[in-house]
Structure 1
Amino acid sequence: MAINAEQLTHVARLTLQCVTLNDAVKAVREALPGFRASAVDALDMRGETPVLRIGDRDLYLMQSDGHCWSVTADPGQAVGLVLTQHM
């Protein structure tokens, strides 16, 4: 499942509206059924480049070969996303 520009914009808006990072992940899961969404500590993503910076949160698109996960900048390859929050 890929994600398009309209969906990314919707995710950004949802993320801005949510008070907590976990609420943002829950909102994304509800808005994009079948698309994986997770929250991790920002340190876990050090060295990676986010696709979007949303306030104090970063969004990373993730691709998978069915076993391993990796960060991608290509929305057409994305099967999920990770959100982090800067403290």
Structure 2
Amino acid sequence: MALTPERIDAIAALAGRLFADGTRLDAVVRAVREAHPDLSNVTGAHAAVMAEDAFREEPGFNLYLVDGTNHCWLITNKPETATGVVIAQRDEDD
């Protein structure tokens, strides 16, 4: 299943609202999973540990797309192959 631009916008908007309200990363991930149960992978991380370039940079977090169609999932910049997301919280210093 591809992620449409509208769906990516909805995921980023939900995560952004929750982070702005002071919600912890694990709760943000849980809320995105609940809102998008058909995604194969919704994971949280800290931006400092991510080696790849973000698909989108939002205030306070980066959004990475995940391609989980093969045995191992990988970060992709292609929404048409994305099956999930990584929400990577940035420190205030980032």
Which band: TM-score by shorter chain? 0.7 to 0.9
Query: Under a length normalisation based on structure 1, what TM-score does the superposition of the two structures give?
Result: 0.87
- The amino acid of 2:53's aligned partner reads T
For residues 7-46 of structure 1, the aligned pairs below 5 Å read 7-18=7-18, 19-35=23-39, 36-46=41-51
User: What SS class does the counterpart of residue 40 from structure 1 fall into?
Assistant: strand
The one-letter code matched in structure 2 to 1:55 is P
In the TM superposition, what is the alpha-carbon distance from 1:44 to its structure 2 partner? 2.6
Preserved contact between residue 47 and residue 89 of structure 2 (Cα < 8 Å): yes
Moved >4 Å (runs of 4+): none
Q: Verify the 8 A CA contact 1:15 1:54 in the aligned structure 2.
A: no
Show CA shifts across 1:7-31 (max 9, x none).
1111111011112222221121111
Residues of 2 paired with 1:9 and 1:56: CA distance? 15
Q: Which 5+ residue runs of structure 2 have no aligned equivalent?
A: none
Shift in Å at residue 32 of structure 1?
A: 1.1
Deviation string, structure 1 residues 46-86 (Cα, Å, up to 9, x no partner): 2x111111211000001124321211111110011101111
Aligned-pair Cα RMSD in Å: 1.3
Unaligned runs of 5+ in 1: none
